[in-house]
Structure 1
Amino acid sequence: MPMTAIILAAGEGTRMKSRHPKVMHKLLDRPLVSWVTRAARNAGADRIIVVVGNGAAEVRAHLASETDVECVEQTERLGTGHATRVAIEAAHVTEGPVVVLNGDLPLIEADTIRAFADSVADGEHACAILTMTPPDPFGYGRVELAADGTVERIVEQKDCTPEQDKNLLECNAGCYAFDGALLAKHIGEVGCDNAQHEYYLPDMVQILREHGHATTITHCDDYVEGLGVNSRVQLAELTELAQQKINRRLMASGVTMLDPKTVWVGPDVTVGRDTELLPMTMLWGKTTIGEGNVIGPNTRLTDVTVGDNNSLEETVGVNVTFDDNITCGPRAYLRGGAHVLSGAHIGTHVELKNTVVGEGSKVPHLSYIGDCQMGAHVNIGGGSITCNYDGVHKSRTTIGDGAFIGSDTMMVAPVNIGAGAITGASSCITKDVPADALAVERSEQFMKEGYASKRLERLRKEA
């Protein structure tokens, strides 16, 4: 039976004090809403419908890369019940389990969403409420259960008696699962007879009960799954919880962290055993780290693939591949699809862009190498640059196996330097260099002996 996830992401989030929608604020490496879409996807949702409203264009633009997500706009923000009805009607949802999740619920797990959907899939219950038991339940609505385990009622905090406040520990996380057919049939019955004149989704619980349908709960074993974000303080608190959860999982799998509090890893990152993550390391996106590496300190990798037995120190990498047995850094910047092959060395203050560095090659220090195909066992002298951009077009440089590029060489692309060739220091190479050749391009050195002392004498007289 198809499962639909409706994610409510239309709210303004005034307590965030931001010009951006609340769901676009990042927890670790991604906006809040993408944590929820990811969990729904991993839970096996056949359809993921995100209700946008405040900042709709920004949310839509972000979600455009998530091709399985449908966006539906709530042009008037009239409450959660209204948002759900807009989604149901616009997306023509008429059957199957429907889970309604908040877009600021980043720590919910896919297994919980799957269990949530399954609780209404057997036809015995028309609705389920996601519940949790936080250490301090104050402020949450409490769920009172009947003797048969069905939901008796939801008691809001302001309505709790002292006894209920003490004994009713099952808290409403604000998310609901429905039998899709019954939701579509009765969502129009939610009214707005309240102080805010809004349509509240929790009213569906009582509406379904009045129609003779049973409701139940799905309990989060870990209460943090039910925690939402309403302020930047809560965003920081949940970021720390996510960090701890991910880092503990990694350490349990064989990853070493000198100080887990100073390592941040996104949820889609994988790290192999015996890899050490040093302080101030950030691993984002689809980054994959192999075994036996030392990553950090002060390293940020986004969508990077790292093989085995590498050392990446003070390195920033975006969309880069490192093979095996590579040393990189400190203070290196690699981007644009750069690929560093096994045994290579990338040194201090080096930038690579859209470049292949061959096996055993070295770019030791103070160089920019862009749009370059470099062979094996090449040595790039300090201060060398591929001049790859003329203001309009990008051009490529090729360097053959075993070439030796002297310090401060400017390679003006397009240009080819053959295997085993040598360029003299401070040369500007504008023509192809044949294999095994020496290329030197310098102006003649001019000397005037005794000039320095005569200049100093003249300056003193003028003073």
Structure 2
Amino acid sequence: MTNYAVILAAGKGTRMKSDLPKVLHKVAGISMLEHVFRSVNAINPEKTVTVVGHKAELVEQVLAGQTDFVRQTEQLGTGHAVMMAEPVLENLTGQTLVIAGDTPLITGESLKNLIDFHINHKNVATILTAEADNPFGYGRIVRNQHGEVLKIVEQKDASDFEQQIKEINTGTYVFDNASLFKALKNINTNNAQGEYYITDVIGIFRENGEKVGAYTLKNFDESLGVNDRVALATAEGVMRRRINKQHMVNGVSFVNPDATYIDVDVEIAPEVQLEANVTLKGQTKIGAETILTNGTYIVDSEIGERAVITNSMIEESSVADGVTVGPYAHIRPGSSLAKDVHVGNFVEVKGSSIGENTKAGHLTYIGNSEVGANVNFGAGTITVNYDGQNKYKTIIGDNVFVGSNSTIIAPVELGDNSLVGAGSTIDKDVPANAIALGRSRQINKEDYAKRLPHHPQNK
């Protein structure tokens, strides 16, 4: 049978206290909506309809080209939101998954199990439920003595007896598609919220003698709906534990997984070692046998095999095999470090390529530069790439030695095998095999120090 899906993503999320639509708040590096969309894809829907409303353009940008969109201009409840999908889905045959865009922890596996349960039991509707230790705030599942679902009652409409029920509605459902849109024509707003509840169609199906079932999640964590920043942090914690566990299963070592922060799309090879307080974000990839020490922060970067990154930050860059970085180094966007490069403490590299086996041990800035292999940068070297209006490029050949405290003013080129004397300011090209000295002349004033008040003989 054919599957369809409706994702509800129209709400503002007032309790988030944010200008950003609720479903666009991120969990482990991607929006809640993207998490839901990825899980929904596990059921291979022929059509997915995303219902948007508050700041619809922002929401549509996130899933552009991947789903149909319909607008809910007034947020009049979940039932009303699903009604908006009627022009796209009404006349189709199959079953339709309805899921909220603020439930990022539901897995694709659970949604596949829900669909299978629905089909195997020949239900007109199946509710995804969970057992809650503290069910306050959730809609309760009311069953008869045979275990059949009679209705779902919201917290504000529940009797004292109904409020004691621990089986809760997760807000995810599967319906026979044609029956769903037929029943939606008969729901009303006679409830505490004055809204059209999608849950009211359950009562309509029961009145018609149609079969309604419920599939209970094995893991309650998956049921979490995010309505405020507290729940967002809870979702973040659950997702990160899930991500870290999978990496450990795959052969990655964690010193302290509870203090290691890895986004959902990060790829890590086996035999990588992660110390505590490591953060890996975006589309980062880490090669085998690499070591990332405490405090390392990497964003959208690719790190090769057997690298050692020590308490440093790397952004939108590539680091080849055997590279060592840090401590306290900053590799800024657009940089590439070739095999066996060493970038040491308090070194900053920005928008530069650095060739194999080049070393910048400490206190160096390399910006907008093309650096060859086997280059040595002495401490305190600076490439001067910006004149206040424009950026300029420095080109440094292979086997160049740059003495400490040198200032290389771009645009300039240092030829292969050249040497720059310590303390030089270089603003002209240096030919291959040349020695460049750009120092000001030293003058010694004999006995002048004796004139100074702090000289020992003046005390």
Q: Given the two structures, how large is their TM-score scaled by the length of structure 2? A: 0.88
Which residue of 1 is the match for residue 15 of structure 2?
A: 15
C-alpha distance in 1, partners of 2:425/2:60?
Answer: 48
Paired AA for residue 106 in structure 1: P
* Secondary structure of residue in 2 paired with 1:175: strand
The answer to whether the 8 Å contact 2:134/2:166 transfers is no
Following TM superposition, by how much is the alpha carbon of 1:411 offset from its aligned partner in structure 2, in angstroms? 2.8
Correspondence 1:220-259 to 2 at 5 A: 220-259=217-256
1:387 equivalenced with 2:422 (yes/no): no
Correspondence 1:148-167 to 2 at 5 A: 151-157=149-155, 159=158, 162=161
The answer to whether the 8 Å contact 1:121/1:179 transfers is no
Aligned residues between the structures: 456
1:337 equivalenced with 2:337 (yes/no): no
Following TM superposition, by how much is the alpha carbon of 1:2 offset from its aligned partner in structure 2, in angstroms? 5.5
Moved more, 368-377 or 260-269: 368-377
* Secondary structure of residue in 1 paired with 2:84: helix
C-alpha distance in 1, partners of 2:350/2:122?
Answer: 59
Which residue of 2 is the match for residue 105 of structure 1?
A: 103
C-alpha distance in 1, partners of 2:43/2:17?
Answer: 32
Paired AA for residue 376 in structure 1: A
Q: Residues 264-298 of structure 1: CA distance to partner in whole angstroms, max 9, x if unpaired?
A: 11122222222221111111122222222221211
Distance 1:457 1:434, change over 3 A: closer
The answer to whether the 8 Å contact 1:120/1:179 transfers is no
C-alpha distance in 2, partners of 1:376/1:93?
Answer: 66
Equivalent in 394, 398, 409 of residue 406 of structure 2: 409
Which residue of 1 is the match for residue 26 of structure 2?
A: 26
Q: Residues 240-275 of structure 1: CA distance to partner in whole angstroms, max 9, x if unpaired?
A: 222222222222332222222211111222222222
The answer to whether the 8 Å contact 1:44/1:114 transfers is no
C-alpha distance in 2, partners of 1:214/1:17?
Answer: 41
Distance 1:385 1:44, change over 3 A: farther
C-alpha distance in 2, partners of 1:121/1:372?
Answer: 62
Q: Given the two structures, how large is their TM-score scaled by the length of structure 1? A: 0.88
Following TM superposition, by how much is the alpha carbon of 1:103 offset from its aligned partner in structure 2, in angstroms? 1.9
Equivalent in 311, 318, 321 of residue 321 of structure 1: 318
Which residue of 2 is the match for residue 292 of structure 1?
A: 289
Q: Residues 311-364 of structure 1: CA distance to partner in whole angstroms, max 9, x if unpaired?
A: 111121222222211211111222323222221111112222222221111122
1:420 equivalenced with 2:399 (yes/no): no
Paired AA for residue 398 in structure 1: I
Following TM superposition, by how much is the alpha carbon of 1:424 offset from its aligned partner in structure 2, in angstroms? 2.0
The answer to whether the 8 Å contact 1:356/1:373 transfers is yes
Equivalent in 83, 89, 97 of residue 85 of structure 1: 83
The answer to whether the 8 Å contact 1:98/1:117 transfers is no
* Secondary structure of residue in 2 paired with 1:235: helix
The answer to whether the 8 Å contact 1:187/1:204 transfers is yes
Residue identity over aligned pairs, in percent, reads: 37
C-alpha distance in 2, partners of 1:393/1:126?
Answer: 67
Moved more, 131-140 or 85-94: 85-94
1:133 equivalenced with 2:131 (yes/no): yes
Distance 1:134 1:195, change over 3 A: closer
Distance 1:110 1:457, change over 3 A: closer
Distance 1:448 1:356, change over 3 A: same
The answer to whether the 8 Å contact 2:89/2:177 transfers is no
1:52 equivalenced with 2:49 (yes/no): no
1:271 equivalenced with 2:243 (yes/no): no
* Secondary structure of residue in 2 paired with 1:218: strand
Gapped regions of structure 1 (runs ≥ 5)? none
Equivalent in 407, 430, 438 of residue 433 of structure 1: 430
Following TM superposition, by how much is the alpha carbon of 1:69 offset from its aligned partner in structure 2, in angstroms? 4.3
Distance 1:147 1:181, change over 3 A: same
C-alpha distance in 2, partners of 1:82/1:296?
Answer: 51
Moved more, 258-267 or 15-24: 15-24
